[in-house]
Amino acid sequence: MVADSKTSAAAPTAAIRGPVLTFTGDPFKEGLEHTMVHESDAIVAFGGGKITHFGPANQIAQQLPPNLEVRSYGPDSLISAGFLDSHVHFPQTPMIAAFGAQLLDWLNIYTFPTEGKYSDKAFASGVAKVFLEECLRNGITTSCVYCTVFPQSVDALFEEAERLGMRIAAGKVLMNRNAPDYLLDTTQTGYDDSKMLIGKWHGRGRLMYAITPRFAPTSTPDQLESAGDLWNEHPDCYMQTHVSESRAEVAWVKELFPDRKGYLDVYDHYKLCRPRAVFGHGIHLDDSEMQCMHATGSAISHCPTSNFFLGSGHLNIKRAMLKDRPVRVGLGTDLGAGTSFSVLTTLNEAYKAAQLNNYALTAGCAYYFATRGTANAMYIDDKVGSIAPGMEADIVVLDMKSTPIIKYRMKSVKEFAEGLFVQMTMGDDRAVQATYIAGELRYSKPPR
């Protein structure tokens, strides 16, 4: 399938050339043959932060100003929409690879003490810089991010994201019980701080606010009700939280909320299931809860690297996407229980999770999942996630021969899909050649 060489009204100020992969629809619903676009030699031009031209190089070259420089990445590259991460904890960056605990113990032993450090704005700013640099180094151009209970941690992340021009959703964690005293807010302070942060940051450039109750066990019923009220007041915000990550967590929620039918019903009861709700994990949701996710337009963030690391289980995304009640599903690294910023590594783990659920995740569907699919889960697929005129120019360029063993393996690849699978199975941050944010080159891999 060949993309139409459409143009937009904006004048291009830069252009790149190389093989391009993008999607025009959902291959899980319509099939890869109708939705995946692979152009072996294409030009993508951009100006004013948006893509202005895309199509076969020999056609687009004739439409560009004669003095416009076109940067060529060569036939061993792959240009794609930037990767999206729909569930990640930037404060946990300093504690990636913390050993030896399952979810609830891991929170108490490692996570909460680390997050206590974010009362220091300077510390938070330093971590935010490292976090976003790593995102760019891994081709991640949009993230849905948990901060901490401290408002200054939100300021630190948004300040750095604004400097870089990144599209980021983030929010202050709401947490008024079942955590150390130094990390607790109250229902009123959580509401007031979140409202202040929404007014300061939401819709400022490319920044988006996410109302963020950590998860049901760390919020009292009145705090969850307050979160729902706040979202009613600001309905274009996001809401992010966790659901059904481990069986022990599900059982704990049942003890804390005995009047509710199940874990998801806690959130639904407080009006927290609706479009732009992003629920991390969802591994153990039952059929009625999946139906609720579908009916309310809520999304699951699939975090396989984290799920395997903590022994939580493995989401069956095929079951989540059943045609009679499909649920929106995005991809999440879930740092720091997730052990890598690399979306390619995360796709490798997603493939393994699928195998444990008795089906194979194709490379084409996996790359859709990491780009347009996660944009769809976040309701921003009209802005990012695809290469097309009018879309924001967030782009990643991969090196398809990034390591000696991948270069050797690619010698025997006979078709494009096979080469894609090699990348998601063996690739990591070394595969990212360049990352563009709104048409600006924000990361370029140092020469070997």
Write the pLDDT tens digit of every residue in 247-278.
999 999 999 999 999 999 999 999 999 999 99
The number of helix segments (H) and strand segments (E) in the chain equals 19, 17
Q: Is 350 helix (H, G, I), strand (E, B) or coil?
A: helix
pLDDT, tens digit, 9 for 90 and up, residues 187-228: 999 999 999 999 999 999 999 999 999 999 999 999 999 999
- Per DSSP, the three-state class of 388 is coil
* Superfamily of segment(s) 83-377: Metal-dependent hydrolases (3.20.20.140)
How many Cα atoms are found within 13 Å in the side-chain-facing hemisphere of 266? 28
How does the average pLDDT of the chain come out, rounded?
96
pLDDT of residue 106: 82
pLDDT computed for residue 97 by the predictor: 87
Q: The whole model's pTM is what?
A: 0.96
Q: What is the pLDDT of residue 447?
A: 82
Cα–Cα distance between 98 and 100 in angstroms, integer?
A: 7
User: Do 219 and 180 form a contact (C-beta atoms < 8 A)?
Assistant: no
Give the contacts of 68 (CB within 8 A, at least 6 positions apart): 12, 13, 14, 15, 45
Question: Are residues 53 and 389 in contact, defined by beta-carbon separation less than 8 angstroms?
Answer: yes
Residue 147: φ, ψ to 5°: -100, -140
Q: CA–CA separation, 86 vs 166, rounded Å? A: 14
Q: 63 burial class (0-12, 13-18, 19+ CB within 10 angstroms)?
A: middle
Give the pLDDT confidence score for residue 9 in this predicted structure.
Answer: 63
Closest CA to 126 of 169, 84, 162, 159: 159
CATH of span 14-81+386-444: 2.30.40.10
Predicted pLDDT at 101 = 76
Give residue 102's pLDDT: 79
Pull the structure tokens for residue 431.
């595969």
Amino acid at 65: P
Both tokens of residue 7?
A: 């143009």
Q: Report the sign of the C-alpha dihedral through residues 422, 426, 427, 430, in that order.
A: negative
Question: Tell me, what's the pLDDT at 2?
Answer: 42
The 10s digit of each residue's pLDDT in 351-384 is: 999 999 999 999 999 999 999 999 999 999 999 9
**Which regions in the chain score pLDDT beneath 50?**
1-7
Separation CA 144–CA 278 (nearest Å):
9
Domain boundaries, the chain: 14-81+386-444, 83-377
